[in-house]
Amino acid sequence: MSRFRKDPDPRFWALNRSLPFDWQLAAYDIDQSQAHARGLLGIGVLDEEEASRIDAGLERVRARMAEHGFAFEDSDEDIHMAIERLLGEEIGPLAGKLHTGRSRNDQVATDVAMAVQVHSLQAIELCGAAMERLLELAEAHKDWPMPGYTHLQRAQPVYLGHHLLAYFWMLARDVLRFQFALDSASVMPLGSGALAGVNWEIDREAVAGDLGFEHVSHNSIDGASNRDFVLDYLAAASTCSMHLSRLGSELVIWSSTEFGFCQLDEAFSSGSSIMPQKLNPDSAELLRAKSPRVAASYATLLGVMHALPLTYGKDMQEDKEPLFDAIETVELCLDATAGMLSGIEFDRARLEDASGDEMLAATEVADLLVRKGVPFREAHGIVGGLVRDAVERGSTLSDFTPEELRRHSEHFDDSYYEVLQRGSWLESKRIAGGTGSVPLAAQIDEARETLAAVKARVLDERS
């Protein structure tokens, strides 16, 4: 007998049914159900023969769902009920025993936590692959000068290797964020029931260990209602996608004819339907465009959880679509980034020519005056006057005669012309983290160690 005398209105059924997207939890739900059955065996709710039949039946369900042409029934509300129905077809009424000691509330939360753990680790591994490509490029181009930019205006010269490592360290921070999401999801909600716990003293620690969780939730209300781990993943994915969008944007700019700094591999480029000459950086453009999509997923779940009374509301069904979409998007973008970077080619002559603009040495000239005792703000003004005069005359900084220089400041001497020698602009940045060759070499060594630690972390988590 059911509490209800009426079937769901088709409009409500369409609104309520989550199977079109939560089918992606199938593998996690089957794994969880097998572990739960072992927990029920441990307290005598199931005997050995029943537990064995349930485990084998769930494996047959897994195999059936993997078959080509498999289709769910229209009456399946969600993946959990669909698996329960399929299990019933395999082993009969015994399937009904499996739901003893759990609610769909803690069942769903546990499945989602398992998914977040798996995909957080996958994101870490993909970040590592992109970091490896960036490090390889940085080492290969560690002595290639290029202009650094602020406001997309030439600012100071840097080495290309130094610039590329900026993205390496962004991804290294993303690894830490995804690791936090993984750790956040390693607390098992199963056993929380609908909200108050369950009436069966299942060994939660044993089930958690069986499923790879590090801990069990301390409070059943929090266990059933918590989706912080999903938000943690979405926050990490949003920041990571933002970083990729910045890289993508620079690759679009750099590969333009106006810049000509690089060219993407043809395998990551597209042509034009009308202009035969075009080699468009579509892959890099899509890195830009995908980022707000992931950020929107984060904002969506924040909105769902905002002011939601404890413990469970059907609102929380809306945790899955943004999560699954973000997972697919960020993993695709990270994988594409590694591929894109593997085939990219840089034009040394174009980079070096652009970095040779003497105006990029303005700060070096100001620092020269500071070394001669001029306060920096005063030196800044003096060099600003030099730049203004050069622009008005259409000349370079080195075109000034010693007499003209002394009209700007009595501190100028022949060392002014030495500072304008291109190599000194880069090698003067000897501070830790600077673009000079010595700190860059140290940075590359540190990057190697960081990448090795990321790879080791992945291996450790998978073992």
433: left (phi over 0), alpha (psi -120 to 50) or beta: left
Q: What is the pLDDT of residues 423-456, one digit of tens each?
A: 677 888 889 999 999 999 999 999 999 999 999 9
pLDDT of residue 156: 87
Q: Work out the angle between the directed axes of helices 228-254 and 320-342 (0-180°, nearest 10).
A: 30
Global pTM? 0.92
Active-site annotation holds for 151: yes
54 or 281, which is more confident: 54
- Given 151, 218, 273, 306, the catalytic residue: 151
pLDDT of residue 146: 95
- Given 75, 270, 272, 424, the catalytic residue: 272
pLDDT of residue 402: 85
- 256, 264 contact by CB (below 8 A): no
Q: What is the pLDDT of residues 298-321, one digit of tens each?
A: 999 999 999 999 999 999 999 999
39 or 13, which is more confident: 39
- 217, 57 contact by CB (below 8 A): no
Given a cut of 80, whether residue 121 has pLDDT beyond it is: yes
Report d(CA 46, CA 100) in Å as an integer. 10
Q: What is the pLDDT of residues 142-190, one digit of tens each?
A: 999 999 999 999 988 999 999 999 999 999 999 999 999 999 999 999 9
End-to-end Cα spacing for the chain? 47
Q: What is the pLDDT of residues 333-377, one digit of tens each?
A: 999 999 999 999 999 999 999 988 878 788 888 888 888 888 999
Taking residues 260-273, report their average pLDDT: 84
Taking residues 262-286, report their average pLDDT: 81
Taking residues 107-132, report their average pLDDT: 98
Active-site annotation holds for 272: yes
Given a cut of 90, whether residue 397 has pLDDT beyond it is: no
Given a cut of 70, whether residue 281 has pLDDT beyond it is: yes
Q: What is the pLDDT of residues 37-53, one digit of tens each?
A: 999 999 999 999 999 99
**% of the chain surpassing 90 pLDDT:** 76
Report d(CA 136, CA 305) in Å as an integer. 42
pLDDT of residue 276: 57
Domains of the chain with bracketed CATH: 10-100 (1.10.275.10), 105-353+452-462 (1.20.200.10), 357-427 (1.10.40.30)
Q: Tell me the β-bridge partners of 33.
A: none
The average confidence (pLDDT) of the chain is 93
**% of the chain surpassing 70 pLDDT:** 98
Q: What is the pLDDT of residues 414-431, one digit of tens each?
A: 888 888 877 677 888 889
State the pairing for strand pair 187-188/262-263.
unpaired
pLDDT of residue 2: 66
Q: What is the pLDDT of residues 371-381, one digit of tens each?
A: 888 899 998 99
> Could you give the maximum distance between any two Cα atoms of the chain, in Å?
103
Q: What is the pLDDT of residues 88-107, one digit of tens each?
A: 999 999 999 999 999 999 99
Given a cut of 50, whether residue 1 has pLDDT beyond it is: no
